[in-house]
Amino acid sequence: MEKVTLGPMPFMSVMPTLLVGADVDGKPNYMTAAWATVACMAPPMVCVAINKIRHTAKGIDQNNTFSLNISTSKQVIESDYCGIVSGAKEDKAGVFTSFYGKLKTAPLAKECPVNMECKLFQSVDCGSHLLYIGEVVEIHADKDVVTDGKPDITKINPIVYAQSAYFDVGEQIGKAFSDGKQFKK
């Protein structure tokens, strides 16, 4: 197939849809984020790229803590709302019921089946966005989405984000760290 050049852009095929929780001026705020991933295994770390102008960035900078909350496909409306309205303009504290875990300043959204408490490890200034890297100090999960002690995406049914649209997770098509063995000589 002939290749075409598309110019530089921060493209990823699919991304998660998460809610970043942070206390801003002592009040819980939730912001939708898709630019997030795992950063490290030991210690366990995740990272999320947040535009410097976000209300959420202010809260993370105030407390050095944040949360990542995984919403389900039934929460598309709440998730999208938190991504189109800023806590600087509208109070988003009531969109979810907040609770706190080990970190007393990282609000966790009760209605989301999985909540990660994160202690800020480092923030990297990349330009428009700060990459917040957080150490996961605890994961809270609804009992009914856990299989063998781990969050189970077939039970969570998280929202996949791509191309300004939301998708369900599709069918399993293979087994990781295993299928490739067939190619080995």
Q: Whole-number minimum distance, CB 57 to ligand FMN, in Å?
A: 7
Closest CA to 88 of 131, 18, 20, 25: 25
Closest CA to 46 of 125, 115, 147, 143: 115
For position 146 contacting ligand FMN by CB under 6 A, the verdict is: no
Distance CA 180, CA 148 (A): 25
Letters for 68-97 (x = contact with ligand FMN by CB under 6 A, - = none) are ------------x--xxxxxx---------
For position 39 contacting ligand FMN by CB under 6 A, the verdict is: no
Q: Which residue is nearest to ligand FMN (CB)?
A: 83
Using the minimum distance from each CB to ligand FMN, give the nearer residue, 17 or 67.
Answer: 17
Q: Which of 21, 23, 28, 34 binds ligand FMN (CB under 6 A)?
A: 34
Q: Which of 21, 32, 65, 157 binds ligand FMN (CB under 6 A)?
A: 32
What is the gyration radius of the CA atoms in the chain, in angstroms? 17
For position 49 contacting ligand FMN by CB under 6 A, the verdict is: yes
For position 17 contacting ligand FMN by CB under 6 A, the verdict is: yes
Secondary structure (DSSP) of 129-184 = EEEEEEEEEEEEE-GGGEETTEE-HHHH-BPEEETTEEE--------TTTGGGGG-
Query: Secondary structure of 95-131 in the HEC alphabet?
Result: CCCEECCCCCCCCEECCCCEEEEEEEEEEEECCCEEE
Window contacting ligand FMN (CB under 6 A); options: 53-61, 114-122, 137-145, 170-178? 53-61
Summarize as ranges the residues that interact with ligand FMN (CB under 6 A). Answer: 17, 29, 31-35, 49-51, 54-56, 80, 83-88, 161
